[in-house]
Amino acid sequence: MHIVKTSLLNRNFSLSVTSLVMMFLFCSLVMKAQSPGLSLGKVGVCNNTTVLIPLTGNNLSNIGAITLFINYDSLSLSFNAIENVDPQLTNGLIFNKLSNPPRIAIVWSKTSGANFQNSTLLNLKFDILQKTGNVGFVKGNCEIANIALPPEVLTVGYTDGSIFEATPVISSEPENKTVPSQSNAVFQVVSPNASGYSWQETRNDGILWSNLSETTRYSGTQTNTLTLRQVPAGYDNFMYRCILSSNSCLSISASAKLSVDSLAGIAGQPSRPILHLTNSPNPFSGQTTIEYSVPGNGNATIKIFSMTGQIMGKPVDRVHVAGLYRVEDNLVYLPAGVYFCQYVFKGTAGVYESYRKMIKIN
């Protein structure tokens, strides 16, 4: 019986020690999570000329005095101002730009306490000289005190900040592709820091680009790899590019041309005709001569569009036989600007389309 009691006592003692240890660890974690802290933001920049770096407070209660000295990389940043100051700090806030070494001094005090549980005290505004640089606390000279009498200097954790280049870096551009008709074509772009992708297509040598979406023809339009399935011969000379994004910054890849070989494996099949379309003079002030080729018997249509897509003229719309044609069109009524001439042929040789940029001057 005595042995049983001793075992029970040892067991109870072990449980008590385990409970105390777990409680201690829990309290330590809670205290650590609730420790007072100040942090400077890490901010990505694109083509900005200025940047706002937030100064954020965590678990700061009844604060009556703040003294901060903040270093910054003067080769990358030039201090400009302090903006977006929390209303609790608007009275009594003093700041100054110091040199040798470059730093910012910030001092504030008040008899009523300020609270920053997880909020921004202010923003440091810098002019950007280079896209990478550090901003940090001079920790030995920084003090945060509460409103107790006498004021108590708090133990505060300080976290430094920085700026970094957020513009997506393109390490591998899309490449030109030549594929047989009705086969697949794949375009790829590679970036170490892009977070978003959006592929575009142009059917008129880069005059107009359109965003692609997922269809039976296109897949991977929002990834780094675009796949075109069963490419028709009519897609010959289309071009593709990708817009990459990261932290609201954008980069545009080089454009890649798609060449579709409609003769693959088919001996004796005629090559796809190339539509000839020019106008002269260009730029023009009134009359211009439009020259175009017709690859076979069929209907040829030429329309002139404004930058907004409005049809401004239709100098050609009739049946032709194969050959080279010219039409003089007096466009004196057009206001000065940039226009697009669209040529569409539908006939025995197939359906083809071509574009040309036209510039009207006064």
Query: How high is the mean pLDDT in each 10-residue block of the chain (362 residues)?
Result: 45 50 46 79 90 96 95 96 95 93 95 92 96 94 91 94 91 92 92 94 89 95 95 90 91 94 49 75 89 90 86 91 88 87 85 85 82
* 89-124 core/surface letters (b: 16 or more CB in 10 A; e: else): beeebebeeeeeebbbebebbbeeebebeeeebbbb
Distance CA 188, CA 178 (A): 14
Per-residue pLDDT, 357: 86
Our CA angle for 105, 107, 109, nearest 5°, is: 175
Per-residue pLDDT, 263: 52
Per-residue pLDDT, 71: 97
pLDDT tens-digit map of 238-260: 999 999 998 788 999 999 999 98
Domains annotated for the chain, with CATH where assigned, are 37-165 (2.60.40.680), 177-261 (2.60.40.10), 277-360 (2.60.40.2550)
Q: What is the pTM of this model?
A: 0.54
Contacts of 93 (CB under 8 A, 6+ apart): 82, 85, 106, 107, 108, 122
Per-residue pLDDT, 285: 87
Query: Considering just the CA atoms, what is the radius of gyration of the chain in Å?
Result: 35
Contacts of 224 (CB under 8 A, 6+ apart): 188, 189, 190, 191, 194, 197, 242
Q: What mean pLDDT is reported for the chain? A: 86
pLDDT tens-digit map of 119-145: 999 999 999 999 899 999 999 999 999
Amino acid at 11: R
Distance CA 221, CA 255 (A): 15
Per-residue pLDDT, 112: 86
Per-residue pLDDT, 9: 42
Distance CA 83, CA 136 (A): 18
